[in-house]
Amino acid sequence: MSNLSTATGTWVIDPTHTNLGFSARHAMVAKVRGTFAEFAGSFTIDGDNLAASSAEVTIQVASIDTKTADRDAHLKSPDFLDAETFPTITFVSTAVAAKGDDVVITGDLTIHGVTKSVDVAYEFIGISQDPWGQTKIGFEGSTKISRKEFGLTWNAALETGGVLVGDEIKLNLDVEATKQA
């Protein structure tokens, strides 16, 4: 991916311009969406040797926001993420590769004390300089995970069949980062 050669360097994720979101099927008919408000991360890009690139992110579980206080409290409880026992979600890359126009980052995702390898495909959006002289970079990525694989098994059966909470969680990641000098 030749257009990443200009992206070589270390970048720090800008939490005010980044969205770490997710969605899950609810009652078999709708999707519930949410985000995490508190997180930090960085990545290093070697534009000439993408395999030498790396990334890491730490998310504060207690910052979950689905726009419904009762649901947020339930998601933070031991029924789901158990924010008191497992206060963070982490991702640490283990491989980075180009796949067509995308960058695929493989890494260890740890949720609820369980670590699984996941692939996240990112589209490189571009690089620009903001009015204050900072160099910014943007990526949009997504992946799907099984919440059960991370030990998140709470559910309730529905009278009409099926369950209240779907197993598949879609992660949507809109990332802006600032280049470090």
Cα gap 176→16, rounded to integer Å: 9
Q: Please compute the mean of the pLDDT values over residues 87-101 and round it to a whole number.
A: 94
Q: Please compute the mean of the pLDDT values over residues 42-62 and round it to a whole number.
A: 95
178 located within any domain: no
179 located within any domain: no
Cα gap 58→106, rounded to integer Å: 16
Task: State what percent of residues in the chain have pLDDT above 90.
Answer: 78
177 located within any domain: no
Residue 23: give the domain boundaries. 2-172
- Render 13-69 in DSSP notation, one character per residue: E-GGG-EEEEEEEETTTEEEEEEES-EEEEEEE-TT-GGG-EEEEEEEGGGEE-S-H
Q: Output the average pLDDT for the chain.
A: 92
24 located within any domain: yes
Domains contained in the chain, number: 1
78 located within any domain: yes
Distances (CA, A) of 78 to 57, 93, 112, 149, 154: 23, 27, 10, 16, 9
Whole-number pLDDT of residue 1:
45
The more confidently predicted of residues 163 and 43 is 43
CATH of the domain at 112: 2.40.128.110
Cα gap 34→172, rounded to integer Å: 10
138 located within any domain: yes
180 located within any domain: no
- Under 8 Å between Cβ of 171 and 134: no
Cα gap 127→29, rounded to integer Å: 39
pLDDT digits (tens, 9 = 90+) for 130-176: 999 999 999 999 999 999 999 988 888 878 877 778 888 999 999 99
Q: Please compute the mean of the pLDDT values over residues 51-63 and round it to a whole number.
A: 97
Whole-number pLDDT of residue 160:
81
Position 79 pLDDT exceeds 70: yes
The residues facing 44 across adjacent strands are 10, 54
